[in-house]
């Protein structure tokens, strides 16, 4: 693919992924993520022919102009989109597939000083939310989605959702499910675990109460205990309602 065709494809990608884009001129002039990608292509081409210093200088100028730092050694696929862009950092040995979408503040970083593969690999169609840090030579599988402000330290399977610090993984999503998941509605595995435990406790208490009635057992609870129980229920009732509505912690 020649550079002109690639640039046209990049512009079409902006229109496809950002509803705020209004005109081609606006996209060409006002999208730092697009500028960073184009300058990275030049820097990467120089890097591949071993013009390392010039490649780094191009990368440095790009960082100054766009606020996005992409090492010229990073390998990036087609239709890559950086939304907003400020604070994005992509390390030297990072590998990014086609149709990947990053939001502002994403870091694809390393965890070792050794000169080897030390940055993440992102499969095709991965989406990484704002402020997320992905560390080490791990793999985010095809179609995976990472919730905003997460810390990802291990592999994420294809079509999985990872959320939290450190990120917990939710599985079993189809491609259609992932497309329909709004960024602010991503499942929270920890909250789901709390909801499950809460339901189990309520079920067990109900069964115990029923057994006591059947056996004619009258359990006299301490008044202070009952008062504390009611206080805890009042305190956690709003949180329980938020969990039931799908909120995280």
Query: Which residues have CB under 8 Å from 2's CB, separation 6+?
Result: none
Structural domains in the chain (count): 2
Between 110 and 200, residue with greater pLDDT: 110
| In the predicted structure, residue 128 carries a pLDDT above the cut 70 | yes
Confidence grade of residue 112 (pLDDT, cut at 50, 70, 90): confident
Cα separation, 111 vs 39, whole angstroms? 26
Residue 249 lies inside a defined structural domain of this protein: no
| In the predicted structure, residue 88 carries a pLDDT above the cut 90 | yes
How buried is 185 (Cβ within 10 angstroms: 0-12 exposed, 13-18 middle, 19+ buried)? exposed
Residue 153 lies inside a defined structural domain of this protein: yes
Secondary structure percentages of the chain, helix, strand, coil, to 5: 45, 15, 40
Cα separation, 120 vs 140, whole angstroms? 8
The domain in which residue 117 lies consists of 3-185
pTM, whole model, 2 decimals? 0.72
Q: Are 100 and 219 in a shared domain? A: no
Q: Are 198 and 114 in a shared domain? A: no
Residue 147 lies inside a defined structural domain of this protein: yes
Which of 76, 81, 163 lies closest to 122, judged by CA?
A: 76
Query: Which residues have CB under 8 Å from 156's CB, separation 6+?
Result: 138, 139, 140, 141, 144, 146, 162, 167, 169
């Amino acid at each position: 693919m020649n550079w002109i065709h690639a640039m046209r494809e990049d512009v079409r990608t902006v229109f496809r992924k950002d509803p705020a884009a209004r005109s081609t001129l606006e996209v060409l002039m006002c999208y730092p993520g697009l500028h960073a990608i184009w300058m990275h292509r030049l820097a990467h081409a120089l890097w591949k022919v071993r013009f390392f210093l010039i490649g780094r200088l191009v990368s440095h100028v790009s960082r100054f102009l766009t606020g996005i730092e992409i090492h010229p050694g990073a390998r990036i696929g087609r239709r890559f989109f950086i939304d907003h862009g400020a604070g994005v950092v992509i390390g030297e040995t990072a590998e990014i597939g086609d149709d990947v979408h990053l939001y502002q503040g994403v870091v694809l970083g390393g965890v070792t000083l050794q000169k080897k593969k030390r940055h993440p690999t992102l499969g095709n169609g991965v989406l990484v939310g704002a402020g997320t840090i992905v560390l080490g030579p791990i793999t985010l599988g095809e179609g995976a989605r990472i919730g905003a402000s997460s810390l990802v330290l291990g592999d994420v399977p294809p079509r999985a959702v990872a959320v939290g610090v450190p990120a917990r993984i939710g599985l079993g999503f189809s491609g259609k499910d992932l497309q329909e998941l709004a960024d602010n509605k991503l499942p929270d595995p920890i909250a789901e675990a709390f909801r499950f435990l809460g339901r189990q406790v309520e079920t067990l208490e109900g069964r115990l109460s029923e057994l006591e009635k059947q056996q004619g057992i009258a359990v006299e609870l301490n008044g202070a205990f009952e008062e504390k129980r009611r206080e805890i229920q009042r305190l956690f009732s709003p949180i329980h309602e938020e969990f039931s509505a799908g909120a995280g912690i």
